[in-house]
Amino acid sequence: MITELEKILGEAKLAYRESILIDNELLEDKLLSIISNLKLLINKTTVEKQILDINNIALLNNQNHILDEVNKIKKRVPKWLRKPTQFNSKILNTFMKLSNNNSYPISISSLRNHLDTLDRSKFITNYSQMKIIAERNHAKVFEEINGEITLWEPVADFIVDLFEEQKICIREEKNIMYDINKQEATSIINRKGQKYNLNPRNGGNMTLANKSNSKDVYWINIHLNKISQELHFILNDKDNREFTHLVIPPNTLNPNLFVVREDTTNEQDKIDIELSFEPSTYLKDIKSNGTNFDFNKHVAGLYTY
């Protein structure tokens, strides 16, 4: 654009010289005004281009810094996990436990309080080096906003996967059969970017059922006082290390469609469901005296772990 403006400016100067030769003062004034405005426009465009170039260089440098930092983290964090007594390892391990593998943010004070064996000054020194990008930092694994901490987004999935792999390795070393719980299922679903209001706590809106050893079904019991809210069924197949997530809209579990039994423990009636995993009746309620309600339309996802 600047080249084109300079070309126009040159032509305007030639026209100005011709106007002098023909002694046309009105034309001279007009051309002088055009020449002046063109020079201002060229100067302005030049400055804007310089600013844009500077911004582009800054953006490129920032992207390079981020890439360098990500590579640093991928080298260092696995080493931290092999040294649990190291300060960085203690801080990161504690954060992952408190946040349920980065499922929700943790306050700085909560993290510090759960590291009571770590001197306050050592905590501040090491934590500070874990939330910045710098040449000699430890590695930026945290993002801090308004006093709350999460994993830094560019490496969050990498770190969560590392901890999941570590957890599996520990269980395998101890020869423990892996059996997922509601908190772990929630973490896996959230990591996939699903936007559900999952509450894994006792009394929440999630029910986890494992495959029965005596019958090809998942056993599920739901109190009648919960059917008016959205419910989530986690059907766990620990042999294949996968689970199916069902999302049940409010009032779907109409008592007229299911077997209802009295719960003498707390005098709250329950809906009894037997979800089949036989191919011919897959995810149908095959409870005797039921209506073979089909839950296939409520499948929200299949996840492996």
pLDDT digits (tens, 9 = 90+) for 136-170: 788 899 999 998 999 988 889 889 888 877 765 55
Picking from 13, 35, 163, the residue whose alpha carbon sits closest to that of residue 99 is 163
Cα-only R_g, the chain: 33
Of 15-29, 78-92, 94-108, the least confident = 15-29
Provide DSSP, 66-91.
HHHHHHHHHHHHHHHHT-TTSHHHHH
Q: Which of 5-19, 62-76, 93-107, 108-122 bottoms out in mean pLDDT, i.e. has the lowest? A: 5-19
pTM value is 0.47
**Percent of the chain at pLDDT exceeding 90:** 28
Average pLDDT over residues 93-115: 88
- DSSP states of 101-160 as a string? TTTS-EEHHHHHHTTTTS-HHHHHHHHHTTSS--TT-S---EEEETTEEEE-HHHHHHHH
pLDDT interval class at 210 (50, 70, 90): very high
Asked if 276 and 283 touch (Cβ cutoff 8 Å), the reply is yes
- Residue 56: its pLDDT value, please? 56
**Domain edges within the chain:** 2-66, 83-173, 197-304
Strand partners, 234: 208, 245
The predicted structure's pLDDT at residue 250? 95
Contact by Cβ (8 Å): 256, 231? no
Report the mean per-residue pLDDT for the chain: 82
Residue 181 CB contacts under 8 Å (≥ 6 apart), including other chains: 200, 208
Question: Letter for the amino acid at 58?
Answer: A
CA distance 118 to 65: 31
More confident residue, 27 or 97: 97
* Side-chain-facing half-sphere of 163: CA atoms under 13 Å: 21
Nearest to 194 by CA among 82, 67, 89, 302: 302
Q: For residues 198 and 208, give the distance between their C-alpha atoms in angstroms, rounded to a whole number.
A: 12
Tell me how far the alpha carbon of residue 121 is from its chain's centroid. Answer: 31
Cβ pair 112, 155 in contact under 8 A: no
> pLDDT tens, 255-298?
999 999 877 666 678 999 999 999 999 999 999 888 999 999 99
Residue pair 252/295 in contact by the 8 Å Cβ criterion: no
Q: What is the pLDDT of residues 177-207, one digit of tens each?
A: 556 889 889 988 988 777 888 998 888 999 9
